[in-house]
Amino acid sequence: MNNETVKVGLMGFGTVGTGVVRIIQGHQEDLVKQTGLSIQVEKILVQNLNKKRSLQVPSDLLTTNAYEILYSPDIDVVIEVMGGIHPAKEYILTALEQGKHVVTANKDLMALHGEEILSKAKEKQCDVFYEASVAGGIPILRALIESFSSDRITKIMGIINGTTNYILSKMSQEGADYQEALQEAQALGYAEADPTSDVEGLDAARKMVILSTLGFHIPMKLDEVEVKGISQVTKEDIAYAKKLGYEMKLLGLAEQNGKGIEVSVEPTLVHKSHPLASVHGVFNAIYVHGEAVGETMFYGPGAGELPTATSVVSDLVTVVKNMKLLVNGQGISSSYKEKKLKADDHKYAKYFLRMIVSDQPGVFTQISQALAEQNISLATIVQQPHPKEKQAEIIIITHRAAKSSLNQALSQMENMAIVSEIKSCYRVEGGEAEWLA
């Protein structure tokens, strides 16, 4: 940093990187007012110099050589918006080793190697901020770290993947085809380079690792998150959910009580009276429940060029303010609480079940009995005709039940002669089911 300008090395010039340059250029006057310094993008790392770009920059700004950023004595801050683990991890560690501050939107990296990166930053007295890594434009990480620091958070629950919410909203509201909706989300720049991580719930699971680590002050690991994506969700499931008064959403959940902590990502039926049911398209929403504050909710665009870049540039502003105050790296906490994960018999939820059964007397009784034996009581049970002769479809919503009991009941029902197939089983959040005509 000279007395007037902070120089930035930008690694990645795709959806988010383009937004970062647009905001730094477009808001320069406001940034100077806030920080007292001008902010200048000195170099931009890309893979392909000949690619056609939606924003034109002078050609000498672009490079394919990461060292021109990492070892440049002029560059104070590295913004990593390339994505992926390698070489992003090595680049960030090198930048920190060189005394450069880092801003990243990379949840894959922070969920898997956050501890190592933050401890290197602390050692080097550098900042590492990653607000954009969770829920794009929603300032949720800063809220967890700063605004809730006086409270004890008990639950974090929400829609934290824009791509899947876009797909499910399109399927539910317009009857769109899954593949078509996914392609639209890709074209709009919401999806990851490999969209499997969106649709299989991995992107949301990584975000839940970051949220639960910061919210509960525990070192959460990715393989401790139970993950189910939306690729198996069918149009029929969505139609039945609607008929019962629910919307299908991919929900992340992190909850702690005296029995421990559970963190999961799974398709969930959310009752239409619940605020999360009306979060559509690329929008995300996150509930944070604190012992003292009670319930709070954060809502906004979860992906896309400018919303995500807003979070990145806000982190950059914080770095610059810290540089002026000479306090970089001081906000990084490395002390965690002991982590105890809940066993399945302490995980409670309501469930939706859909199964194909023989259309014969006594079927309801046998199914209800299998559930009752596991202490699971029914909120709703409906029988529907099925196109196959002598078969029927049964739809059930249970009251709250332990996950271990549900699993026992499911394996018992799978072995019943009257049950041809258990089509689906989803978690249910909020409200009471009603069969809508």
Ligand X SMILES: N[C@@H](CC=O)C(=O)O
Ligand Y SMILES: NC(=O)C1=CN([C@@H]2O[C@H](COP(=O)(O)OP(=O)(O)OC[C@H]3O[C@@H](n4cnc5c(N)ncnc54)[C@H](OP(=O)(O)O)[C@@H]3O)[C@@H](O)[C@H]2O)C=CC1
Q: How far is the CB of 11 from ligand X (least distance, A)?
A: 17
192 is in an annotated binding site: yes
Strands 62-63 and 38-45: parallel
Nearest residue to ligand Y, by Cβ distance, number only: 14
Torsion of CA 207, 210, 214, 216, to 10 degrees: 80
CB-wise, 21 or 244, nearer to ligand Y? 21
Which residues within the stretch 144-203 sit at the binding site for ligand Y (CB under 6 A)?
189-190, 192-193
Catalytic residue among 207, 228, 342, 350: 207
Name the residue among 383, 374, 341, 313 with its Cα closest to residue 139: 313
Q: Which does 161 bind (CB under 5 to 8 A by kind): ligand X, ligand Y, none?
A: ligand X
In angstroms, rounded to a whole number, what is the distance separating the alpha carbons of residues 137 and 283? 10
Which residues within the stretch 230-269 sit at the binding site for ligand Y (CB under 6 A)?
none
Which residues within the stretch 1-60 sit at the binding site for ligand Y (CB under 6 A)?
12-17, 45-48, 51
Q: Residue 273 belongs to what H/E stretch?
A: none
Answer yes or no whether residue 303 interacts with ligand Y by CB under 6 A: yes
Structure tokens at 288: 């944070």
Please confirm, yes or no, whether 337 is among the known catalytic residues: no
CB-wise, 197 or 398, nearer to ligand Y? 197
In angstroms, rounded to a whole number, what is the distance separating the alpha carbons of residues 77 and 91? 12
In angstroms, rounded to a whole number, what is the distance separating the alpha carbons of residues 176 and 131? 32
Name the residue among 75, 61, 50 with its Cα closest to residue 25: 61
Candidates 82-90, 112-120, 140-148, 335-343: pick the segment binding ligand Y (CB under 6 A). 82-90
How far is C-alpha 227 from the geometric centre of its chain's CA atoms? 12
Q: How far is the CB of 102 from ligand X (least distance, A)?
A: 18
CB-wise, 14 or 252, nearer to ligand Y? 14
Q: Which does 130 bind (CB under 5 to 8 A by kind): ligand Y, ligand X, none?
A: none
Q: How far is the CB of 100 from ligand X (least distance, A)?
A: 24
Contact predicate 27/313, CB 8 Å: yes
Contact predicate 141/131, CB 8 Å: yes
Name the residue among 217, 221, 206, 284 with its Cα closest to residue 250: 284
Q: Which residues bind ligand X (CB under 6 A)?
A: 136, 161-163, 190-192, 198, 203, 302-303
Q: How far is the CB of 187 from ligand Y (least distance, A)?
A: 12
107 is in an annotated binding site: yes
Burial of 175 (0-12, 13-18, 19+ CB in 10 A): exposed
Q: Which does 198 bind (CB under 5 to 8 A by kind): ligand X, ligand Y, none?
A: ligand X
In angstroms, rounded to a whole number, what is the distance separating the alpha carbons of residues 348 and 189? 36
Binding residue positions: 11-18, 107, 192
Residues that bind ligand Y (CB under 6 A): 12-17, 45-48, 51, 81-83, 87, 105-107, 132-133, 136, 189-190, 192-193, 303-304, 308
Binding residue positions for NADP(+): 11-18
What is the set of active-site residues? 207
